[in-house]
Structure 1
């Protein structure tokens, strides 16, 4: 995610955001402001595990059932909160996933200390592997270094390509695209070698790209992040600010033609290190293959 000054905001949202900017700095200095304190010190680390039953037509070669977990938008810098990240890894492992899907923005603006990030996320445990795509911030700041460190930790980074994963007695096809905002996503290249009856789970950082992929019948599910759910949401108003390629689909499930899209609220924060009515998220999917069951 990155704040986009061109994102459409209502006048009410603009007014609140202006007031928030004016109030945030003095509340930090004075140690006051219950709402700001809650948003920055409590909700920002109050990770929820959101569990979902997900029914997908994955074809006859895919397993009847498996568990997939998605995480996104860690934004390790500038806070470098290794203990928080380690707790996220521990809670993810406790779900005993078959597949872990990471959908980008591991950093905000620098890959400094990214080796430390890699060492912590190298502790992810899953039966069938950990798979990733890159986000816009990763593409903007040393993407090759970021990819190499993740790969060194056993994470398969899918850059405009797909892979076949033996899993739960079947085969899951996973595809990853480059970031829309920071890279050059290319489904034509990524899909080369797919069989006509293959059905794939897609990893792409920006959720709104689902509208461009809609109609590609081999894509049945898209996991995305990027929006952080807005980070700050207000009753009756919703997200105060959303980024390019994250305006149409903000958080949770959407049906985009044939694609079931899920937008994860993310783990980290950017710009304002606060969350309000929008806690960080580990998404857990118990997938049922309707072509088998």
Structure 2
């Protein structure tokens, strides 16, 4: 039979463990950890001999103290050291939550991102929070957000349903970027089914005029079932890997497909998707089991 002292020790140990785990999820994993997650793949139809290293950053969610301008600059320095041929930004630069000690202005986080360097340039798409936090863009039901303008002002290529042909070692590939799939929120409704996307997958892919492989940037991975096999690789963020994962499963994922596209490399048929766990936090400043990460994808 358990004694009163034994019960108190058990309860005390449980509370202590919860406090330690809470402190880790609140202060250590979001603030002090940064992983480099690597993938190597040769998608079907990839050009023989074309070796391409892609460095990808997603879901920065700039704010104090979690993702300050100085921390973003530090992450960019680490990204530059990874030897990427091309660097891509997968959206959600705006804070995305109110549990902050201060907001980081777009002129500050864009200046930090401007330190990114790659031989084939730095290329970006926007995310849902970049739209949601811009009241003017919401009122106008489109146009350019402050995020579009801030990135363009520092020389970063921003894609809004656009495809561009690039070359490495004389061999071509296409980089295509979609506008956000949850961009507009009608009135005060926040139900996913009521949100209006500004993405145009068909129109974007129609810009591709040869057989060179295609890399698609799409902030939300929910577009993936519609992506044709013509696209060699889709890169997404948005989910943060669920932001909390236990034994490889996230109890809450901001996707209508649940855990299906929550995180990592997903292969369906001859199509590949890689979903980043992202860097910052949204809704709540907590991460557990999904440390902030930079992606390195070696293609070919």
Please confirm whether the aligned pair reaches a TM-score higher than 0.5, indicating the same fold: yes
SS at match of 1:284: strand
1:264 counterpart residue number: 276
TM-fit CA distance, 1:59? 5.2
TM-fit CA distance, 1:245? 4.3
1:242 counterpart residue number: 253
2:288 counterpart residue number: 276
Gaps of 5+ in 1: 1-26, 289-293
How many residues were matched structurally?
255
2:229 counterpart residue number: 217
1:43 counterpart residue number: 29
SS at match of 2:226: helix
In 2, the alpha carbon distance for the partners of 1:78 and 1:90 equals: 19
User: Are the counterparts in 1 of residues 37 and 294 from structure 2 also a CA contact under 8 Å?
Assistant: yes
In 1, the alpha carbon distance for the partners of 2:156 and 2:256 equals: 26
1:133 counterpart residue number: 125
TM-fit CA distance, 1:141? 2.6
User: Are the counterparts in 2 of residues 207 and 245 from structure 1 also a CA contact under 8 Å?
Assistant: no
TM-fit CA distance, 1:235? 2.8
TM-fit CA distance, 1:63? 6.0
In 2, the alpha carbon distance for the partners of 1:241 and 1:260 equals: 23
SS at match of 1:239: coil
In 2, the alpha carbon distance for the partners of 1:158 and 1:96 equals: 23
SS at match of 1:240: coil
Matches within 5 A, 1:155-234: 155-182=156-183, 183-213=197-227, 216-234=228-246
1:107 counterpart residue number: 94
Deviations 1:257-279 (A, max 9, x none): 33210000000001221211110
TM-fit CA distance, 1:192? 2.7
In 2, the alpha carbon distance for the partners of 1:246 and 1:95 equals: 32
In 2, the alpha carbon distance for the partners of 1:63 and 1:97 equals: 17
1:94 counterpart residue number: 81
1:18 counterpart residue number: none
SS at match of 1:175: strand
In 2, the alpha carbon distance for the partners of 1:271 and 1:59 equals: 38
CA RMSD between the two structures? 2.3
Deviations 1:13-53 (A, max 9, x none): xxxxxxxxxxxxxx9xxxx9211111122111311001121
In 2, the alpha carbon distance for the partners of 1:108 and 1:209 equals: 23
